[in-house]
Amino acid sequence: MKHIYIILLVSLCLVNKVYAVNETEVRQTANYRVIPLPQEIIPIQDSPFLLEAGVTILYPSNNKKMQKNAQFLANYLQVATGKKFPIATQSNKGSVISLSLDKKHNNPEAYQIIISANGVKITASTEAGIFYGIQFLRKSLPVNANTNIILPAVEVKDYPRFSYRGALLDVGRYFFTVDEVKTFIDMMALHNMNRFHWHLTEDQGWRIEIKKYPKLTQIGSIRKETVIGRNSDIYDHRPHGGFYTQKELKEIVRYAADRHITIIPEVDFPGHMQAALASYPELGCTNGAYEVGTRWGVSDLVLCAGQEKTYQFLEDVLTEVLDIFPSEYIHIGGDECPKTEWEKCHKCQARIKEIGLQSDKLHTKEERLQSYIITRMERFLNAKGRKIIGWDEILEGGLAPNATVMYWRTWCGDKAYTEAVKQGHDVIMTPYKYMYFDHAYVSDRTNEPLCLANLNNITTDSIYNYEPVPAGFTTEEQKHFIGVQGNVWTELISTFPHVQYMSLPRFAALSEIQWTMPEKKNYHNFLYHLPQLIQIYDNEGYEYAKHLFK
Ligand code: ACM
Ligand code: ZN
């Protein structure tokens, strides 16, 4: 490993290479050591571009998204140079950075940049593509250089490998503020991610205001206390809670959209519903004394699938969710739903009989009941023009006809994604073994914050080397692997700096899996590029893990 640290040290020194041009003017040079690695950077025989005060950023008139893009770029350039850059729809003097839409790009998120003595041109077929071009420029510049910057002449041709480049934040176990969620979205944008999977409901906390069911937040968003550590049996005797109003949620949706990130909300059912049951006990099999969860693990207390009012509840909740979140995909959970209550419940058993569900050697009748509830809700969502994503348990009992499967249970082998793909379904890869960022980075946990007890540590290089499209599929089948996602589950992560520590620099490694073609990836190259990205983490005040920088 020693040589890796030397490379890191050397590259740290190179990042801010300083050129003394004359006695009064000092310039620095941008380099293109960017993460995720672009597909192609081709040197051009030309003098470099000089980024100095007064360079105008041009964007097309009557395009608000491009205006936003121009403003992002102006802000990034100001961070780098300390100077102000006007944005405008036209300019007839001086050099410009132009942002323009051009339909010649096949991939909707592709971009091209030409940097030459005359100026900088970023083109893409969508505003999202332009945004990634802007991120490329941002990450090429020295941070806080406070000088003019020289940009060597190059052409960049870039596009993402996967259309789904996700990160999950669990706010059910611990609540994170609106500003913290926005920072998480900023962290994603820095790494060219485009799907924020927001896990909003849990046994231990319901976080989304639903106007028709006010008790979900009045009661369900607060737990009376929390177990300390990994279910130690000692409790902190302090209530923990919080939720987002619909107004706040809509504001965060806009904030993410400005950064070309779609929020995929998750309302996890029929399991992981204990907070909802505490709020509306009539939704359970027993009407029993439910309370918002105070420990971690899988609860047996799930929605009763035998009564119509459960389905009405789900439709009502989802109707409000659809009003807040324009995403085509809605995540319906479907994971970790024990069937013990359903086996005992006369309402669930009557429903099983009524619709003729039977056990066979593949599935129990209760598993088929779970498939019934998911399929029924899929029909509801499909009729409203939306699609469902569910955790890989939704295969049990039969897969809903149009569902996308999120693969996570590595210990069950390759059956889930294989079955899904062979049946023509899309799959998103988020394997427990590589993509669960609540695991420790290193096997020696002496100096690590609280993390999962099992010994599956997930190093940054094991993430980097993970290949999300498994061998053994035809070219057509491979297209069903639409992307990959890192998950930040928070049972053991109660503060936002801890969220950042578990996410960074893992997001950097993940972003090269998501974006860069596999034949171009190179871990040593990645380590060589990383210090430049770390400067941005430092400048933004992001916490991050430093194992690679001993
Ligand atoms: C999960 O981690 N329960 C999807
Ligand atoms: Zn029941």
pLDDT digits (tens, 9 = 90+) for 256-312: 999 999 999 999 999 999 999 999 999 999 978 999 999 999 999 999 999 999 999
Ligand 1 atom at shortest distance from the alpha carbon of 432 = 2
Distance from the alpha carbon of residue 340 to the mean position of ligand 2, in angstroms: 10
Examine residue 270 and say whether the peptide bond preceding it is cis (omega within 30 degrees of 0): yes
**For 286-290, 334-338, 517-521, which range has the lowest pLDDT when averaged over its residues?**
286-290
User: 21-80, pLDDT tens digit by residue?
Assistant: 554 567 899 999 999 999 999 999 999 999 999 899 999 999 999 999 999 999 999 999
CA 348 to ligand 2 centroid distance, Å: 4
Mean pLDDT of 451-468: 92
pLDDT at 478 over 60: yes
d(CA 424, CA 402): 9
pTM, two decimals, is 0.95
Tokens for 25? 């003017």
Per residue in 366-380, pLDDT (tens digit) is: 999 999 999 999 999
What does the mean pLDDT of the chain come to?
94
Fill in the amino acid letter for 184: F
Measured in angstroms, how far is the CA atom of residue 319 from the centroid of ligand 2? 23
Cβ-in-10-Å burial (0-12, 13-18, 19+) of 390 comes to: buried
Name the one residue in this structure whose structure tokens are 């004394």: 289
Closest-approaching ligand to the CA atom of 416: 1
Mean pLDDT of 502-511: 98
* CA–centroid distance, residue 375 to ligand 2 (Å): 18
Cβ(518)–Cβ(464) below 8 Å: no
Query: Contact at 8 Å (CB) between 404 and 508?
Result: no
Closest ligand to C-alpha of residue 337 is 1
Query: Mean pLDDT lowest for which of 63-67, 329-333, 335-339, 360-364?
Result: 360-364
State the DSSP code for 421.
H
Nearest to 397 by CA among 363, 428, 425: 363
Given a cut of 50, whether residue 2 has pLDDT beyond it is no
Report phi then psi at 400, rounded to 5.
-60, 145
Protein residue whose Cα sits closest to atom 2 of ligand 1:
408
Buried b (16+ CB within 10 A) or exposed e, 504-515: bbbbbbbbbbbb
Q: And the tokens for 169?
A: 């934040």
> Which of 331, 336, 405 has most ligand 1 atoms within 8 Å of its beta carbon, as the pocket-test mutant?
336
Which of 63-72, 91-100, 244-253, 291-300 is predicted with the least confidence, judged by mean pLDDT? 91-100
Q: What's the Cα-to-Cα distance from 220 to each of 207, 243, 383, 494, rounded to whole Å? A: 8, 9, 29, 18
Strand partners of residue 427:
405, 481
Q: List the residue whose alpha carbon is closest to atom 3 of ligand 1.
A: 335
Find out whether the peptide bond into 142 is cis, omega within 30 degrees of 0. no
C-alpha 59/C-alpha 61 separation (Å) is 6
